[in-house]
């Protein structure tokens, strides 16, 4: 296979999206709200459709604002339904995002004559096309997506950097956070806004599947590898960036095994993140499966070696 500057740009765009998602993703995972990214990325459809129908154009800004607003609304509705209706938060989330998604589909279909908005495009994205749409940045022709995602990444870095202690506190102990004067609800909605903005910015460029995956998978992998928050954030960013590179490579390489052309890179980036998670799962220092099996074997050996009173072999079964 031949690697071109095209491929480099695709990987850079993917990595920027991935890292931008991994940062807030860590806090989502810690707050047990991993599915929020999935919910928001489906639910923004009516926002996109409405923005398009009102302004009649596909300019990014209107779509961006519409989608981000609906994204925040998703979080708000979920919160309301689960609080006022006493509904399990997962279920509330599911109700909200499927309904919004359905409304979005209906809106798009009703306006099908005028709207060139393919819901499939929202899900898969078209990361392969990113290098075609460039802006001049000084002497360099940079893909627009890279610029946009670079800015989003900076925004997320700024949030995590500035509000690190507040985010950590409110995720760990919302009650204490409130009694200390850091409103956990405010922080919750701030995080949701950031997630919505990131989601919308990213899927316009690369499709929502990367967003959903990168909000959860790197954070999950990092949580298996460390007990500290700062290393967790760093590992998550690393996993995110590596899966972008690996995913693109897989997207070119794997189909060729079957004699097919390159496939969708976004999907493969998610798969790559999953593979990295699998490695962390298997070989992680503590929770790792291999370490666990090893420990199990060691324990049973020790029991074997220990002086036995009875003669029954059952005593040497590995401890659960």
Partner 1 sequence: MWWNRTFVPLLLALLTLPCAASDGGFGWVDVVLLRTHNTWVVVLSTAVLGVASGAVGSFLLLRKRSLMGDALSHATLPGIGIAFAVMTAAGGDAKSLPGLLLGATVSGVLGLLVMLGIGRTTRLRDDVAMGLVLSVFFGLGVAVLGMVQRLPDAAGLESFIYGKPASIVLDDFRWIVALAVIVTVVSILLFKEFKLLCFDDGFASSQGWPVLALDILLLGMVTAVTVIGLQAVGLILIIAFLITPPAAARFWTDHLPTMAFLSALIGGVSGWLGASISALTPDLPAGGVIVVVAAAVFLVSMFCAPARGVLGRWLRHARLRHKIGRQHLLRGAYEILEADQSRPGAPDNHAFPRAELQGKRTWTPHELGRILRREARRGHIEDLPGSRLRLTEEGFGEAARITRNHRLWEMYLVTHADIAPSHVDRDADMVEHVLEAELVQRLEAALRKQGAWVPQPRSPHRI
Partner 2 sequence: MKTLIRNMSPRGDAAGEDLSGHPSDIPLAVHDLTVAYHRKPVIWDVDLDIPEGKLVGIVGPNGAGKSTLMKACLDLIPKTSGEVAIYGKSYRSQRRMVGYVPQRESVDWDFPVSALDVVAMGTYRQLGWLRPVGRRQKEQAMDALEQVGIGHLAKRQIRQLSGGQQQRVFLARALAQDAKVYFMDEPFAAVDAATEEAIVKLLRTLNERGKTCLVVHHDLATVSSYFDWLVLLNMRVVASGPTKEVFTAANLEKTYGGHLSLIDDALRALRNVVE
Task: Enumerate residues 6+ apart whose C-beta is below 8 A from 314.
Answer: none
Least Cβ distance, residue 110 to partner 2 (angstroms):
36
Decide: is 29 part of the binding site for partner 1 (CB under 8 A): yes
Question: Among partner 2, partner 1, none, what binds residue 224 when CB lies within 5 to 8 Å by partner kind?
Answer: partner 1
Residue from 113, 120, 175, 310 in contact with partner 2 (CB under 8 A)? 175
Q: Which residues are 134's β-sheet partners?
A: 143
Site for partner 1, residues 273 to 292, rule: CB under 8 A = 273-274, 277, 281, 287, 289, 292
Site for partner 1, residues 38 to 77, rule: CB under 8 A = 38, 42, 49-50, 53-54
Site for partner 1, residues 73 to 92, rule: CB under 8 A = 81, 84-88, 90-92
Decide: is 223 part of the binding site for partner 2 (CB under 8 A): yes
Alpha helices in 143-207 (DSSP H): 144-162, 164-172, 174-179, 184-206
User: Quick one: CA dihedral 187, 191, 196, 198, positive or negative?
Assistant: positive
Decide: is 203 part of the binding site for partner 1 (CB under 8 A): no
Question: Among partner 2, partner 1, none, what binds residue 112 when CB lies within 5 to 8 Å by partner kind?
Answer: partner 1
Decide: is 18 part of the binding site for partner 1 (CB under 8 A): no
Q: Which helix (H) or strand (E) holds 274?
A: helix 265-283
CA distances from 137 to 14, 119, 140, 252 (A): 19, 31, 5, 29
Report residue 193 as tokens.
Answer: 């806004």
Residue span 7-26 as binding mask against partner 2, x where in contact by CB under 8 A, dash where not: --------------------
Question: Among partner 1, partner 2, none, what binds residue 219 when CB lies within 5 to 8 Å by partner kind?
Answer: partner 1
Distance separating alpha carbons of residues 254 and 259, to the nearest angstrom? 9
Residue from 62, 65, 103, 190 in contact with partner 1 (CB under 8 A)? 103
* Phi and psi based region of residue 137 (left: phi greater than 0; alpha: psi -120 to 50; beta: remaining): beta
Site for partner 2, residues 300 to 319, rule: CB under 8 A = none
Residue span 140-169 as binding mask against partner 2, x where in contact by CB under 8 A, dash where not: ----------------------xxxxx-xx
DSSP state of 318: P
CA distances from 107 to 85, 117, 126, 289 (A): 28, 11, 23, 47
Distance separating alpha carbons of residues 273 and 101, to the nearest angstrom? 26
Per CB under 8 A, residues contacting partner 2 are 30, 83-84, 162-166, 168-169, 171-173, 175-176, 178-182, 223, 226-229, 232
């Amino acid at each position: 296979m031949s690697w071109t500057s095209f491929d480099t740009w695709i990987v850079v765009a993917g990595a920027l999206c991935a890292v931008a998602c991994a940062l807030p993703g860590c806090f989502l995972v810690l707050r047990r709200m991993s599915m929020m990214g999935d919910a928001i990325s489906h639910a923004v459809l009516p926002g996109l459709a409405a923005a398009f129908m009102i302004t009649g154009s596909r300019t990014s800004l209107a779509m961006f604002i519409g989608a981000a607003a609906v994204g925040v609304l998703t979080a708000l509705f979920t919160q309301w339904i689960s609080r006022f209706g006493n509904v399990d938060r997962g279920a509330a989330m599911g109700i909200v995002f499927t309904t919004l998604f359905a409304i979005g589909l209906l809106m798009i279909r009703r306006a099908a004559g005028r709207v060139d908005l393919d819901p499939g495009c929202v899900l898969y994205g078209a990361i392969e096309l990113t290098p075609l749409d460039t802006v001049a940045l000084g002497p360099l022709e940079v893909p627009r997506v890279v610029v946009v995602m670079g800015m989003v990444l900076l925004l997320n870095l700024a949030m995590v950097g500035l509000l690190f202690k507040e985010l950590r506190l409110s995720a760990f102990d919302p009650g204490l956070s409130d009694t200390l004067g850091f409103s956990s609800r405010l922080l919750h909605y701030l995080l949701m806004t950031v997630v919505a903005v990131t989601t919308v910015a990213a899927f316009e460029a690369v499709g929502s599947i990367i967003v959903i995956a990168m909000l959860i998978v790197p954070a999950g992998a990092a949580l298996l590898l460390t007990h500290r928050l700062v290393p967790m954030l760093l590992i998550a960013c690393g996993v995110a960036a590596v899966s972008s590179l690996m995913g693109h490579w897989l997207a070119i390489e794997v189909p060729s095994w079957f004699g097919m052309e390159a496939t969708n890179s976004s999907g493969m980036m998610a798969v790559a993140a999953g593979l990295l998670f699998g490695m962390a799962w298997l070989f992680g220092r503590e929770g790792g499966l291999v370490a666990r099996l090893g420990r199990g074997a060691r324990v049973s050996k020790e029991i074997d070696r220990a002086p036995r009173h009875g003669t029954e072999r059952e005593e040497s079964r590995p401890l659960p």
